[in-house]
């Protein structure tokens, strides 16, 4: 059992996961296909950017029969020096070069009866410390693979690495059976890795996806974790795969069950309005979004999470007793979904 | 000539300005009227909020013939202790109680040929330092007026105060004559207060309303200033009035000239897409918005600036030579508008 991080295996898993998720969603949509946008970057966009380079494979499905917009992005980004803000709890890592690999997705369905979902799985590692001034002048465009090969190749300073990720669900109209299915799938995926994980990851998710300025959760939660490395690389990577592999089984049955539900303009309007909360969360609070934008990441890939169409209304309040009102009272609060019904 | 701040006169001016601007816009719209939402707050929404209390008069015009959404808000907010983040350049003010008065507006027209506009004028002052523990237990709901009366009433510590504000314009389709009119009106309003002000305030506006993650200006600028107190209270207040009074003469003729221009779905789509940039700026960068949300301000009044309907598309690029493309190449860059044509 190795405890050294195996970057190549993580990358291969993530690319395959992106393939499988896109195939599942395209099959569920039945009409539209994903387009692929491969990109590379070897220089920062902003002068103060800590990003050295990177690339990605962004896949977008737009104007589908079921999905109004679905974005599933693989990215592989490297930086020359971790900004202090990214390492507040580990100040000794500031200034170290780093690599981040991940798959991140947000699905905005057309029918308001189908919930929006978000997932990501990611791996982060520092790279061997910057060489001294004598070699620091090497071209900034150095391919990531050259440096990253040194992670497990007897580097002077051992790398510090961790996994993170999870998935959360944002309904516009609440269905208890969907919430239960979503959370039970998450719980069951985590169970082989320790029974303590699901309650802990659910709590992390509830805490994180909470709009402070609205005093309300973004949705009905799910699971989230970060900084995960304690059981060693192999077991941590296995956990990541369990989470990544659970996304489609958690989401696809809900889509299949709701996508043909009759709907109307009132419900569409409510969906567009509630999507505003998604924008507010992602642009005001989401750490990944803000770090990406501030560190010179690729704006189009980062903001692919934003809904295709959104509305804001002043002081809108659903009528008491309406289904829209019940979303707030019955669904937008932490509930022990996995053990309900 | 007094140099002590006269809070009551500032408040009276701002309330009257709100009345006049709403009347002008409603007349230009011709169909919809503003509704008024008066609110007060005497306790914080979040446990760590530094807001003591306040109130406001938010006016909204929705679904008008010309204006899809127009919000003109007067607010009068007080806080118990300035957060360090708000006083980075004046650390000696941290912890001081404060009062902020202002009128802030954002107008989102329906026709894509009419630009969106934003303005605000505001006054900020510290209040006499917090009394000792013996009187600190007085009710949190103390009306602002009781404490504020002490600003000019021989307080122990002299108040630190300043004015700020300005206006900027965000077109979806560019018209040079509109940009020239907008900037000349601003320049002429500032001229009696010193010829150095317009170039300086224009630069501040260009620097501030720039989307870093997009590498592009929000619009064609205008004027902005902050921390203005150097010539004393009377002259500073006169400058604020010049700016506030110039908004309607700067904006209304542009609305009148463009509001009946023929348009189509393609232009509407472009408008909704470009409105996304407005949301991105306000939620990611705008200091007033973020300070308001983080300090427990009234969310609905703060976010009334967001457009009524918005769309995001992945990696959208206007066709070279199109009017949409010309917006980027010819208008979304700093230009000496006041001296053009």
What digits encode the pLDDT tens for the residues A16-32? 999 999 999 999 999 99
Residue A217 backbone dihedrals phi, psi, to 5 degrees: -70, 155
**Is A312 a residue whose pLDDT tops 80?**
yes
Q: Sheet of B116-126: strands edge to edge? A: B35-41, B51-62, B67-79, B98-109, B116-126, B161-170, B221-228
Looking at the DSSP bridge assignments, the partners of residue B74 are: B57, B103
Q: Say if CB B18 and CB B56 are below 8 A apart.
A: no
- Minimum-distance CB partner of B312 among A58, A307, A312: A307
Contacts of A37 in chain B (CB under 8 A): 314-315
**Is A143 a residue whose pLDDT tops 50?**
no
State the CB neighbour count (10 A cutoff) for residue A54: 20
A312 to B314: CB separation less than 8 angstroms, yes or no = no
Distance, CA of A147 to CA of A140 (rounded, Å): 12
| Cβ of residue B46 closer than 8 Å to a chain A Cβ | yes
Distance, CA of B264 to CA of B269 (rounded, Å): 9
User: What pLDDT score was predicted for residue B279?
Assistant: 98
Q: Is A238 left (phi over 0), alpha (psi -120 to 50) or beta?
A: alpha
The catalytic position among B118, B181, B183, B193 is B118
Q: Say if CB A161 and CB A128 are below 8 A apart.
A: no
- Minimum-distance CB partner of A314 among B45, B71, B290: B71
Residue B224 backbone dihedrals phi, psi, to 5 degrees: -150, 145
Distance, CA of A64 to CA of A134 (rounded, Å): 54
A60 to B304: CB separation less than 8 angstroms, yes or no = no
Burial of B235 (0-12, 13-18, 19+ CB in 10 A): middle
Residue A20 backbone dihedrals phi, psi, to 5 degrees: -65, -40
State the CB neighbour count (10 A cutoff) for residue A145: 12
Helices (H) and strands (E) counted in chain A, each on its own, are 10, 10
**Is B137 a residue whose pLDDT tops 60?**
no
State the pLDDT confidence band at B127, using cuts at 50, 70 and 90: confident
Q: Nearest Cα to B279, choosing from B207, B218, B223?
A: B218
The H-or-E segment that residue A31 falls in is none
Higher pLDDT, A293 or B74: B74
Q: Nearest Cα to B14, choosing from B60, B69, B72, B62?
A: B72
State the pLDDT confidence band at B233, using cuts at 50, 70 and 90: very high
Catalytic site residues of A? 118
Q: Say if CB A336 and CB A206 are below 8 A apart.
A: no
State the pLDDT confidence band at A130, using cuts at 50, 70 and 90: low
A310 to B310: CB separation less than 8 angstroms, yes or no = yes
What does the pLDDT look like over B316-340, one tens digit per residue?
999 999 999 999 999 999 999 999 8
What are the C-alpha distances in Å from B150 to residues B4, B9, B143, B157, B159? 11, 15, 13, 10, 10
Contacts of B37 in chain A (CB under 8 A): 314-315
What does the pLDDT look like over A43-79, one tens digit per residue?
554 444 555 688 999 999 999 999 999 999 999 988 8
What are the C-alpha distances in Å from B167 to residues B119, B136, B206? 4, 39, 11
User: What pLDDT score was predicted for residue A142?
Assistant: 40
**Is A128 a residue whose pLDDT tops 90?**
no
Kindly state the tokens that stand for A100. Answer: 């981040």
Q: Nearest Cα to A39, choosing from B312, B317, B315?
A: B315
pTM as predicted = 0.91
Length of chain A equals 341
Kindly state the tokens that stand for B150. Answer: 């002490």
Segment B286-299 shows an average pLDDT of: 87
Higher pLDDT, B86 or B230: B230
- Which of A28-42, B169-183, B212-226 is predicted with the least confidence, judged by mean pLDDT? A28-42
**Is B80 a residue whose pLDDT tops 60?**
yes
Q: Say if CB A48 and CB A80 are below 8 A apart.
A: no
User: What pLDDT score was predicted for residue A85?
Assistant: 62
| Cβ of residue B269 closer than 8 Å to a chain A Cβ | no
Nearest C-alpha in A relative to B37: A315
**Is A135 a residue whose pLDDT tops 50?**
no
Distance, CA of B129 to CA of B89 (rounded, Å): 19
Q: Nearest Cα to B163, choosing from B81, B73, B218, B228?
A: B228
User: Helix axis angle, A233-258 relative to A7-29, nearest 10°?
Assistant: 10
- Minimum-distance CB partner of A213 among B279, B280, B299: B299
Kindly state the tokens that stand for A290. Answer: 């803000």
State the pLDDT confidence band at A94, using cuts at 50, 70 and 90: confident
Mean pLDDT, chain B, as a whole number?
89
**Is B154 a residue whose pLDDT tops 50?**
no
| Cβ of residue B306 closer than 8 Å to a chain A Cβ | yes
What does the pLDDT look like over A254-267, one tens digit per residue?
999 999 999 999 99
8-state DSSP, A231: T
Q: Say if CB A315 and CB B302 are below 8 A apart.
A: no
What does the pLDDT look like over B187-228, one tens digit per residue?
999 999 999 999 999 999 999 999 999 999 999 999 999 999
> How far does A303 lie from chain B, in Å, by closest CA?
8
What are the C-alpha distances in Å from B177 to residues B183, B333, B339? 10, 16, 11
8-state DSSP, A284: I
Residues 6 or more apart in contact with residue A139 via CB below 8 angstroms:
none
Distance, CA of A234 to CA of A245 (rounded, Å): 16
Contacts of B214 in chain A (CB under 8 A): 299
Length of chain B equals 341
User: What pLDDT score was predicted for residue B143?
Assistant: 47
Q: Say if CB A115 and CB A170 are below 8 A apart.
A: yes
B315 to A306: CB separation less than 8 angstroms, yes or no = no
Per-residue HEC secondary structure of B244-296 comes to: HHHHHHHHHHHHHHHCCCCCCHHHHHHHHHHHHHHHHHHHHHCHHHHHHHHCC
What does the pLDDT look like over B8-45, one tens digit per residue?
999 999 999 999 999 999 999 999 999 999 999 765 54
User: Per 3-state DSSP, what percentage of chain A is helix, strand, and coil (rounded to 5)?
Assistant: 40, 25, 35
State the pLDDT confidence band at B139, using cuts at 50, 70 and 90: very low
Higher pLDDT, B105 or A46: B105
What are the C-alpha distances in Å from B162 to residues A150, B12, B80? 56, 17, 18
Higher pLDDT, B59 or B133: B59
Contacts of B71 in chain A (CB under 8 A): 314
Higher pLDDT, B265 or A159: B265
Distance, CA of B170 to CA of B207 (rounded, Å): 15
Residue B296 backbone dihedrals phi, psi, to 5 degrees: 80, 25
State the pLDDT confidence band at B48, using cuts at 50, 70 and 90: very low
Distance, CA of A312 to CA of A307 (rounded, Å): 13
| Cβ of residue A154 closer than 8 Å to a chain B Cβ | no
| Cβ of residue A283 closer than 8 Å to a chain B Cβ | yes
User: What pLDDT score was predicted for residue B319?
Assistant: 96
């Amino acid at each position: 059992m190795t405890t050294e991080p195996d970057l190549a295996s993580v990358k291969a898993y993530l690319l395959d996961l992106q393939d499988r998720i896109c195939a599942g969603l395209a099959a569920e949509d039945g009409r539209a296909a994903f387009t692929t946008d491969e990109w590379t970057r070897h220089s920062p966009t902003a002068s103060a950017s800590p990003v050295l380079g990177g690339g990605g494979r962004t896949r977008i499905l737009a104007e589908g029969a079921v999905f109004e917009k679905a974005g599933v992005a693989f990215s592989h980004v490297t930086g020359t020096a971790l900004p202090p803000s990214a390492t507040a709890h580990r100040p000794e890592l500031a200034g170290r070069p780093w690599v981040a690999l991940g798959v991140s997705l947000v699905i905005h369905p057309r029918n308001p009866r189908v919930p929006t979902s978000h997932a990501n799985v990611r791996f982060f590692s520092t790279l061997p410390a910057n060489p001294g001034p004598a070699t620091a002048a090497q071209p900034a465009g150095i391919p990531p693979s050259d440096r990253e090969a040194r992670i497990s190749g007897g580097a002077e300073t051992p790398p510090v690495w961790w996994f993170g990720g999870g998935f959360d669900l944002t309904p516009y109209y609440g269905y208890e059976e969907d919430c239960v299915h979503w959370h039970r799938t998450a719980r069951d995926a985590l169970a082989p890795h320790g029974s303590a994980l699901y309650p802990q990851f659910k709590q992390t998710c509830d805490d994180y996806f909470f709009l402070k300025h609205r005093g309300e959760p973004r949705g009905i939660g799910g699971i989230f974790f970060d900084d995960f490395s304690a059981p060693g690389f192999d077991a941590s990577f296995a956990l990541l795969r369990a989470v990544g592999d659970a996304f489609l089984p958690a989401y696809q049955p809900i889509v299949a069950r709701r996508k043909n539900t009759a709907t109307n303009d009132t419900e569409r309007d409510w969906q567009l309005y509630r999507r505003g909360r998604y924008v507010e969360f992602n642009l005001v609070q989401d750490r990944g979004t803000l770090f990406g934008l501030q560190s010179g990441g690729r704006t189009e890939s980062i903001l692919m999470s934003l809904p295709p169409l959104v509305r804001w209304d002043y002081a809108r309040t659903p009528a008491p007793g309406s289904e829209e009102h019940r979303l707030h009272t019955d669904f937008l609060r932490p509930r022990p979904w996995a053990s309900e019904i």
